[in-house]
C-alpha cells in the first residue's frame, strides 16, 4: 500500500481516498463492490434468521469470491474466531480449491488495503448521494458524529429507507420518543 501512498486507510481523508481509488482501479485486474443496504443490516442484526453482522460480511465475501473466481483470496476477518469464519466463507464457495488466507489486520496485504480504500470510496460516494437527496449534510454517517446524530434525530421519520433501525443511536432515539409519549398520559 505504501507504494501508492497509503499506510492505514482509516486515517485517510475523502480526497486522498478518491485519489487512491483511481490509482487502484488502474492497477487491479478486477474488482467488485457490493452495497449492503440498511434493511439488509437490520435483518442480520435484529431479524429472525441465523445471520449477524459477521456472517453477513462472510456471505458477501463468498459472493465476491464466487463472482471474481480468484486462485487465492486474502480476507480480513471481522470475527475473533478466524477458523470458524474461514469455514463459513469456504462452505459458500463454488470453487472449494480457492486458497483462503484469513486473519486480522490484513491491510498489510495490498489486496486487502486496496479493497478497503475502494469500499471507503464507494461509501463516501453514497454519503454524498444521500446528502444531495436530503439537501443537507448528514456528517460522516458514523454514530459518534454530532452532525449525523442531529440529522438522525430530525429526519428519521422523513427518510426511513436510509436509516439503520438496528443502530444503537436510532434505538435510543425511538425509546426516548416512546417514553415521552407515555409521559403524556
The span from the CA of 165 to the CA of 43, in Å, is 9
Would you tell me how many other CB atoms lie within 10 Å of the CB of residue 49? 10
Answer yes or no: are the C-beta atoms of 170 and 164 closer than 8 Å: yes
The span from the CA of 142 to the CA of 39, in Å, is 17
Identify which of 79, 53, 58, 27 has the alpha carbon closest to the alpha carbon of residue 166: 53
Would you tell me how many other CB atoms lie within 10 Å of the CB of residue 79? 18
For the domain made up of 137-185, give the CATH fold: Arc Repressor Mutant, subunit A (1.10.10)
User: Are 2-135 and 137-185 in the same CATH fold?
Assistant: no
Would you tell me how many other CB atoms lie within 10 Å of the CB of residue 78? 15
Answer yes or no: are the C-beta atoms of 104 and 86 closer than 8 Å: no
CATH number for 2-135 (one of 2.60.40.10, 3.30.420.10, 3.40.50.1820, 3.40.50.261): it is: 3.30.420.10
Q: Per residue in 149-182, pLDDT tens?
A: 999 999 999 999 999 999 999 999 999 888 765 5
Query: What is the pLDDT averaged over residues 32-41?
Result: 94
- DSSP 8-class letter at 185: -
Cα 123 from chain centre: 8
The span from the CA of 153 to the CA of 173, in Å, is 7
- DSSP 8-class letter at 145: -
Does residue 67 surpass a pLDDT of 80?
A: yes
Instruction: Kindly report the backbone phi and psi dihedral angles of residue 75, in degrees, each rounded to the nearest multiple of 5, phi listed first.
Output: -125, 130
Domain ranges of the chain: 2-135, 137-185
Instruction: Give one word for 139, left, alpha or beta, with left for phi > 0 and alpha for psi -120 to 50.
Output: left
The span from the CA of 32 to the CA of 16, in Å, is 20
Q: Per residue in 68-127, pLDDT tens?
A: 999 999 999 999 999 999 999 999 999 999 999 999 989 889 999 999 999 999 999 999
Query: What is the pLDDT averaged over residues 16-23?
Result: 94
Strand-pairing partners, residue 73, are 100
Amino acid at each position: 500500500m505504501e507504494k501508492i501512498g497509503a499506510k492505514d486507510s482509516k486515517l485517510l481523508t475523502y480526497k486522498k481516498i478518491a485519489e487512491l481509488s483511481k490509482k487502484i482501479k488502474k492497477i487491479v485486474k478486477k474488482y467488485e463492490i457490493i452495497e449492503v443496504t440498511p434493511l439488509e443490516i437490520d435483518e442480520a442484526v435484529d431479524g429472525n434468521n441465523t445471520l449477524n453482522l459477521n456472517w453477513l460480511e462472510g456471505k458477501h465475501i463468498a459472493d465476491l469470491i464466487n463472482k471474481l473466481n480468484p486462485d487465492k483470496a486474502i480476507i480480513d476477518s471481522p470475527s475473533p474466531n478466524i477458523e470458524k469464519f474461514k469455514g463459513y466463507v469456504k462452505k459458500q464457495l463454488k470453487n472449494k480449491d480457492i486458497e483462503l488466507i484469513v486473519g486480522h489486520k490484513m491491510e498489510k496485504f495490498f489486496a486487502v488495503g486496496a479493497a478497503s480504500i475502494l469500499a471507503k470510496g464507494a461509501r463516501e460516494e453514497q454519503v454524498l448521494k444521500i446528502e444531495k437527496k436530503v439537501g443537507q449534510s448528514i456528517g460522516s454517517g458514523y454514530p459518534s458524529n454530532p452532525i449525523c446524530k442531529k440529522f438522525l434525530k430530525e429526519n428519521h421519520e422523513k427518510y426511513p429507507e436510509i436509516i439503520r433501525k438496528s443502530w444503537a443511536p436510532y434505538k435510543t432515539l425511538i425509546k426516548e420518543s416512546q417514553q415521552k409519549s407515555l409521559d403524556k398520559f
